[in-house]
Amino acid sequence: MIIYDDKKISQIANWQDKEIYMLLDFDRTITDTYSEMSWGILSKSKLVPKEYRLDREKLHNHYRPIELDESLDEETKKKYMEEWFYKHINMLIKYKISKQIIDDTCKNLNLMKFRDGMKEFLINMHKRKIPVVIMSAGIGNFIKAFLKYHHCLFDNIYIVSNFLEFKDGIAHGMGSNIIHSLNKSNELLTDDIKAKLKGRHKIILFGDTCADTKMSGHVPSQNVLKIGFLAENIDNNIDAYKKVYDVICLGPTSMKDVSKIVKIVGCNYEM
Ligand SMILES: [Mg+2]
């Protein structure tokens, strides 16, 4: 089921391809509701040492409740999230995670697959030359490998995420900027990406958490249409989603259904 604000949908009815870009979260937005998240996917893979899986679980059990604790102030939480981030990176380095493992893990459709209609959507955006920005607090290497494996790593797609760096094919560090769930914002866009988006002031945003709606930063609300996927804990979360999203897709929802309501999203079903 999809709930939406009629008024908002009619306001965007005249938006043109040349003035918009798409801004999407990755985990469980581009991938489906049942996919592993890019931070967790390795722990489900048979390709990594068991010790990594155990260590990672300890870390997760310690920090995940902090991430979910709404009573903590943002600064404190941010500090913990960064701590978690660096500890996990060090673990990937310690266990010598290879680029090959990342590439191979992304091919496992039991762990990660497209939301229904998402591949068609990306192909359609490519054909229409509409930029697609993927902003993720996950690990960008997985996003890239996943899109490449599915033949969707198009030149109109820009990935803003955390990237592992490799030396001789083995993880040895991380790029300078870190992106976690609390700092996702269009302020993270590089000058290169901004140049590609020049002249495009309207955004269609897709996310699966309330925090994802901050990806559009200070862009005025009349220039952003926010589409949220809510599949877990619907009764408890629906009110919070209603406050921040214009369109809410309840349960596992296909992009084809989204495009019936938000026409400009479009999907080309001819594969
Ligand atoms: Mg997500």
Q: Note whether residue 87 is domain-resident.
A: no
Distance of alpha carbon 66 from alpha carbon 133, whole angstroms: 29
How far, in Å, are 85, 106, 164, 174, 236 from residue 167 at the CA level?
Answer: 20, 20, 10, 11, 45
* pTM confidence score: 0.92
Residue 69 lies in a domain: no
> Does residue 145 belong to any structural domain of this protein?
yes
Helices (H) then strands (E): counts for the chain: 9, 9
Q: CA-CA distance, 184 to 24, in Å (whole number)? A: 11
| Residue-by-residue pLDDT tens, the chain, 271 positions | 999 989 999 999 999 999 999 999 999 999 999 998 888 888 888 888 899 999 999 999 999 888 877 788 888 988 998 899 899 999 999 999 999 999 999 888 888 999 999 999 999 999 999 999 999 999 999 999 999 999 999 999 999 999 999 999 999 988 877 888 778 888 899 999 999 999 999 999 999 998 899 999 999 999 999 999 999 889 988 999 999 999 999 999 999 999 999 988 876 554 4
Token pair 């697959």 is found at 113
Residue 60 lies in a domain: no
**Domain coverage including residue 14:** 2-35+99-265
CA of 36 to the centre of ligand 1 (A): 10
Give the integer Cα–Cα distance in Å for 246 and 229: 11
Domain count, the chain: 1
Give the C-alpha separation, 9 to 224, whole Å. Answer: 11
Asked whether residue 119 is domain-assigned, the answer is yes
63 occurs within a structural domain: no
Report how far residue 98's alpha carbon sits from residue 223's, in angstroms, rounded to the nearest whole number.
Answer: 42
- Ligand 1 centre to CA of 5 (Å) is 23
Residue 253: give its domain's CATH number: 3.40.50.1000
CA of 193 to the centre of ligand 1 (A): 21
Residue 9 placed within a domain: yes
Tokens representing residue 7 in the block = 């008024």
Residue 59 in any domain: the answer is: no
Q: Contact at 8 Å (CB) between 156 and 125?
A: yes
Q: How far is the CA of 215 from the centre of ligand 1 (A)?
A: 12
